Amino acid sequence: MKKTIILLALLMATTMQAQQIKVYLNAGHGSWGPNDRPMPTIPYPMLPETGRPDTCGFYESNTNLWKTLECGTRLKRNGNFKVKYSRTKNGPYPYREGASNEFRYNRSLSEISAEVDTWGADMFLSIHSNATSEGALVNYPLFLYRGTDAEDYAANSKAMCQKIWPRLTEAMHADFEPMTHYQSSTNIRGDIDFYHSSWTNDKGITGYLGVLHHLSPGFLSEGFFHTYQPSRHRALNKDWCRQEGIRYYRGILDYFNVNTDSLGCIMGQLHSRKKSSDLELFAAISGSLDEYMPANGITVRLKDNNGEIVDTYETDQNYNGIFVFYDLRPGRYYIEMKGEGFRTRQGKVNATTVKAKTTTYKSIFMIDGESTPFDDETGIEGVSSSQSTPQNIYDLSGRRVTTPRKGIYIIDGKKIAF
Ligand SMILES: [Zn+2]
């Protein structure tokens, strides 16, 4: 009996293994060298000694890797997928041209495409961002598969693009970031027609992009334009990149008809009412939220419908105002904020609904004013008329108060929020 159960378990395990969908993920580029699209941002300028920022600055290789690892981690956790990465690291640092380890993570495209076929991937995805002239007010995605516009040479590549496109563009369609073209269409192209060129490798595979010279269906995604400066500052935020990875992941679930993700996320961005036009390296698309200053260093708290704190996030100092809360049970949440120079917002504010397998996008304007602690940080939350009320309470104009309502009061010389 025992033997039969073990055998049965083994058999089930092998069957599950056999059913696993193999996804090959290629994070574009891979060193901190000049071909990794280094570009300046406000906090991380180009260094005079290298002409590149330090490794915290914008390199496409960093952002591609964050997106890719998030997508792959979730696919693996899902259980229906097997994942192979072309790389899981960046580097080496410092980059030295001609060094023996120069291409350790920046592998040749022919080597990668050969590996895709050797492994027998059911799907291939190469993750990049796009570029045009620096500071151009252009932002939209591009998916490229091997073939012509009329025909995908690896069957189903086009179908994958069409299924995943709506997922990738969710943030743009939610006006979370501007989308200058293709709002009501798609930008899915055959690489041969896009580049007006093609070549055939030693295995007889014809296409344009080296990394697509394999037989597995799939595509290369240029998720956004990193030459659009406000988006480049967003890309400095790892969680913003991870959210792009999650959108690919959800698109892949859609394509393979796997619906097992019961949780959702919130991605928000905070702005002040001040215009961003004084910032260097921040040319904003007119009519977009990028025309306003992103709010750095703001404490954001997520509360559930019962008022319990679910998570806390601090927006970074990189001029994006991004905050992200992951893997939330569907339901209603509230977003509290406090930060220097802004009025603290707390309680049932910024109501947000989370749905399964979805990210809710939330853009919030901060209100100029005095920052005060969150109620529960004052240590006197819950004081009611039945409890002893502190003596010597004054309002901000110095008037003595006997029954404090909600607001800021001075008690024993200290400002306290009720
Ligand atoms: Zn690239």
Domains and CATH numbers, the chain: 15-255 (3.40.630.40), 264-365 (2.60.40.10), 377-418 (no CATH)
Name the band, by pLDDT with cuts 50, 70 and 90, for residue 160.
Answer: very high
Q: Under DSSP, is residue 195 helix (H, G, I), strand (E, B) or coil?
A: helix
Q: Is the pLDDT of residue 383 over 50?
A: no
State the distance from the centre of ligand 1 to the C-alpha of 49, rounded, in angstroms: 24
State the distance from the centre of ligand 1 to the C-alpha of 305, rounded, in angstroms: 42
d(CA 37, CA 58): 8
State the distance from the centre of ligand 1 to the C-alpha of 337, rounded, in angstroms: 36
State the distance from the centre of ligand 1 to the C-alpha of 145, rounded, in angstroms: 15
State the distance from the centre of ligand 1 to the C-alpha of 28, rounded, in angstroms: 5
State the distance from the centre of ligand 1 to the C-alpha of 226, rounded, in angstroms: 10
State the distance from the centre of ligand 1 to the C-alpha of 68, rounded, in angstroms: 13
Structure tokens at 347: 């309680």
Q: What is the pLDDT of residue 387?
A: 42
d(CA 238, CA 222): 17
Find out whether 148 and 207 touch, Cβ atoms under 8 Å: no
Q: Is the pLDDT of residue 368 over 60?
A: yes
d(CA 344, CA 157): 49
Lowest average pLDDT, out of 136-150, 288-302, 318-332, 399-413, goes to 399-413
Q: What is the mean pLDDT of residues 134-138?
A: 98
State the distance from the centre of ligand 1 to the C-alpha of 417, rounded, in angstroms: 50
Burial of 91 (0-12, 13-18, 19+ CB in 10 A): middle
Find out whether 142 and 181 touch, Cβ atoms under 8 Å: no
Which parts of 135-229 are beta strand (E)?
A: 142-145, 188-190, 199-200, 206-207, 218-225
Q: For 296-310, how does the pLDDT look when each residue is reduced to its tens digit (9 = 90+)?
A: 999 999 999 999 999
Q: Is the pLDDT of residue 7 over 90?
A: no
φ, ψ (nearest 5 deg) of residue 339: -175, 155
Average of per-residue pLDDT values in the chain: 92
State the distance from the centre of ligand 1 to the C-alpha of 334, rounded, in angstroms: 37
Find out whether 323 and 268 touch, Cβ atoms under 8 Å: yes
φ, ψ (nearest 5 deg) of residue 71: -60, -50
Structure tokens at 325: 């809360």
State the distance from the centre of ligand 1 to the C-alpha of 303, rounded, in angstroms: 38
State the distance from the centre of ligand 1 to the C-alpha of 4, rounded, in angstroms: 52
Q: What is the mean pLDDT of residues 79-96?
A: 95
State the distance from the centre of ligand 1 to the C-alpha of 125, rounded, in angstroms: 13
Q: What is the mean pLDDT of residues 7-20?
A: 58
State the distance from the centre of ligand 1 to the C-alpha of 403, rounded, in angstroms: 62
Q: What is the pLDDT of residue 19?
A: 84
Name the band, by pLDDT with cuts 50, 70 and 90, for residue 17.
Answer: low
Q: Show Cβ contacts of residue 99 under 8 Å, excluding neighbours closer than 6 positions.
A: 92
Identity of the residue numbered 343: R
Q: What is the mean pLDDT of residues 170-182?
A: 98
Which parts of 233-297 are beta strand (E)?
A: 264-275, 292-294
State the distance from the centre of ligand 1 to the C-alpha of 253, rounded, in angstroms: 24
The residues that bridge with 188 in the sheet, in sequence order, are 143
d(CA 278, CA 284): 11
State the distance from the centre of ligand 1 to the C-alpha of 33, rounded, in angstroms: 13
Q: What is the mean pLDDT of residues 35-58?
A: 96
φ, ψ (nearest 5 deg) of residue 350: 50, 50
State the distance from the centre of ligand 1 to the C-alpha of 204, rounded, in angstroms: 25
Q: What is the mean pLDDT of residues 354-383?
A: 88
pTM of the model: 0.87
> How many other C-beta atoms are found inside a 10 Å radius of the C-beta of residue 343?
15
Pick the residue with more confidence: 71 or 12? 71
State the distance from the centre of ligand 1 to the C-alpha of 128, rounded, in angstroms: 4
d(CA 160, CA 59): 27
State the distance from the centre of ligand 1 to the C-alpha of 223, rounded, in angstroms: 10
Please name the residue that has the structure tokens 């969908």.
Answer: 21
Burial of 117 (0-12, 13-18, 19+ CB in 10 A): middle
Helix, strand, coil distribution of the chain in percent, nearest 5 = 25, 25, 50
State the distance from the centre of ligand 1 to the C-alpha of 129, rounded, in angstroms: 5
Name the band, by pLDDT with cuts 50, 70 and 90, for residue 389.
Answer: very low
Q: What is the mean pLDDT of residues 363-379?
A: 93
Please name the residue that has the structure tokens 């190469």.
Answer: 126
State the distance from the centre of ligand 1 to the C-alpha of 275, rounded, in angstroms: 31
Name the band, by pLDDT with cuts 50, 70 and 90, for residue 398.
Answer: confident
d(CA 63, CA 147): 27
Find out whether 296 and 334 touch, Cβ atoms under 8 Å: no
pLDDT above 70 covers what percent of the chain? 89
Lowest average pLDDT, out of 251-255, 275-279, 410-414, goes to 410-414
Find out whether 238 and 247 touch, Cβ atoms under 8 Å: no
Name the band, by pLDDT with cuts 50, 70 and 90, for residue 388.
Answer: very low
Lowest average pLDDT, out of 140-144, 204-208, 389-393, goes to 389-393
